[in-house]
Amino acid sequence: MPYFEVSGACAGCGETPYYKLVTQLFGSDMMISNATGCTSIYCGSTPSTPFATDKSGKGPAWANSLFEDNAEFGFGMKVAQEFKARQLVERLTEAQSSFEPELQSVVAEYLAAKGNRNEEKVIAPRMVELLKASKSEAAAPLLEMERDFISKSVWIIGGDGWAYDIGFGGLDHVIANSLNVNILILDTEVYSNTGGQSSKASQAASIAKFAAGGKPTGKKDLGLMAMMYGHVYVASIAMGANRVQTIKALKEAEAYQGPSVVIAYSPCIEHGIKGGLSNHQITQKLAVECGYWTLYRFNPDAEKPLTVDYTKPDFSKFRDFVMTETRFNQLPNANPFEAEALLEKAASDAEKRFNRLMKLARD
């Protein structure tokens, strides 16, 4: 079931399907640190919330932090979880000899499985029952930690304004460490919530506030920067282009025992898509087919870490694709003298990004 239901986002928002999907995959165990931005508005408009619980009362734990410190906020969640897990293991180990034989056996199973959430979910309910029935004085204090018997999946979520720009220093600090946190970047390529200003995620030639004549510089390659650490799982996804790859990337990111970054292409109302946002899944498909967006997964645990999941984009379709969006097709009117050069730069940047990835994948 999805733990993310009806939100207050723009109708057809490209971000919310990813949020819904990630809760369907991991929602009962999620702790979410959410940056300020569109996501914080449609997730946390008091007194309503799009988040739900299941029949067991389980669901995501969600909190909003600032633009500039969201990554550190989520990092702190994981540090706290790691501390509590160590404390729980120590207390169980110390108390184990005072338990009844059956409980001793179950505790041994639990300690052997610690960190494997699927196994913890099988063992923890039996351990709780036996702790409640135990005559050991150590049982009651351990039951106070019952909510920590099953490990949590920590997710740091926000938009490109946070990840590429205002909060980049914090994000870089988090991925430079080895803690197992999952970072989901909902990339609209523009500051959506604050009025459509250009960000470091914006493509060359795109029109936005503070780039009214078309952005003169290219899109920051955040995925490649994260890959260069060597120990970070990185994926670039677009749900409408390949749903299987999207699910696979999210599952691989969550399973990876270290920092992971998933960059999700999220069409936005600020793009001015022809036909409206109801077409945003089709737009994602076309973006990948023409090379505007590249699908890939970088898994440091794999023998060949980098996999490019769509290897034959047709760059001849690039111009036709961008001209279906107001942020590009109004450029000849806004900046007639430089429009052609900027649009050629956008296409050239896309080819260079793709060729760079293909070279890395071969190497």
Q: Tell me which residue of 210, 211, 222 sits closest to 186, measured CA to CA.
A: 222
Residue 273's closest CA among 257, 264, 263, 284? 284
Selection from 196, 348, 210 nearest residue 272 by Cα: 196
Q: Where are the domains of the chain?
A: 16-75+156-362, 85-148
- In the numeric block, which tokens belong to residue 234? 């990185």
> C-alpha angle 206/36/157, rounded to 5°?
85
| Domain boundaries 16-75+156-362, CATH class | alpha beta
Residue of 316, 304, 318 lying closest to 357 (CA atoms): 304
Strands 260-265 and 233-237: parallel
Q: Which neighbouring-strand residues pair with 236?
A: 263, 296
The pLDDT profile of the chain, 363 residues, written as one tens digit per residue, is 899 998 989 999 999 999 999 999 999 999 999 999 999 999 998 788 999 999 989 999 999 988 899 999 999 999 999 999 999 999 999 999 999 999 999 999 999 999 999 999 999 999 999 999 999 999 999 999 999 999 999 999 999 999 999 999 999 999 999 999 999 999 999 998 777 889 999 999 999 888 889 999 999 999 999 999 999 999 999 999 999 999 999 999 999 999 999 999 999 999 999 999 999 999 999 999 999 999 999 999 999 999 999 999 999 999 999 999 999 999 999 999 999 999 999 999 999 999 999 999 998
DSSP character for 204? T
Contact yes or no for 157/20 (Cβ under 8 A): no
pTM: 0.96
Contact 252, 233 (CB under 8 A): yes
Phi, psi of 208 (to 5 degrees): -160, 170
- Residue-by-residue DSSP string for 140-155: HHHHTTGGGSS--EEE
